[in-house]
Amino acid sequence: MTLLLTILLAVLPMPGTRFQQLPPGPGKAEVEAACYQCHAADLLAQQRLTEKQWTASVEKMVRWGANVPERDKSAIVTYLARHYGPGNRFVPVKTATLK
């Protein structure tokens, strides 16, 4: 909760920031728990990676301290590869300019 508050406080002053939602499906809760520690959904949603590349990315983030239970890893990789695989098309959200 402290980390969440820190992140919200850090982000809220930026007037243009908009938050996206991840699509529903198996693995969504595990992805949110793992990735939202340091990233917003849009960083995930813009990727177009193979399952092999997603596995490498998740492993890298675990090395960097992401708190990911071993049992959640395959659900996370499967979800990310299914929604944000090579065929993914990402359209960035238009945000207000930053004064």
- Counting Cα atoms < 13 Å in the Cβ hemisphere of 94 gives 0
Instruction: Classify residue 17 by burial, with Cβ atoms within 10 Å: 0-12, 13-18, 19+.
Output: middle
- Does 17 participate in binding another protein (rule CB under 8 A)? yes
Query: Exactly one of 23, 26, 39, 74 binds another protein (CB under 8 A); which one?
Result: 39
For another protein, the binding residue among 28, 33, 53, 55 (CB under 8 A) is: 53
78 binds another protein (CB under 8 A): no
Among 49, 76, 77, 81, binds another protein (CB under 8 A): 49
Best CA proximity match to 42, nearest among 91, 95, 98: 91
Pair 96, 15: CB distance under 8 Å: yes
Closest approach of another protein to the CB of residue 22, in Å: 12
The site for another protein, by CB under 8 A, has a size of 39
Closest CA to 70 of 32, 43, 30: 30
Q: Which residues bind another protein (CB under 8 A)?
A: 3, 7-8, 10-12, 14, 16-21, 38-43, 46-49, 53, 56-57, 63-65, 86, 90, 92-99
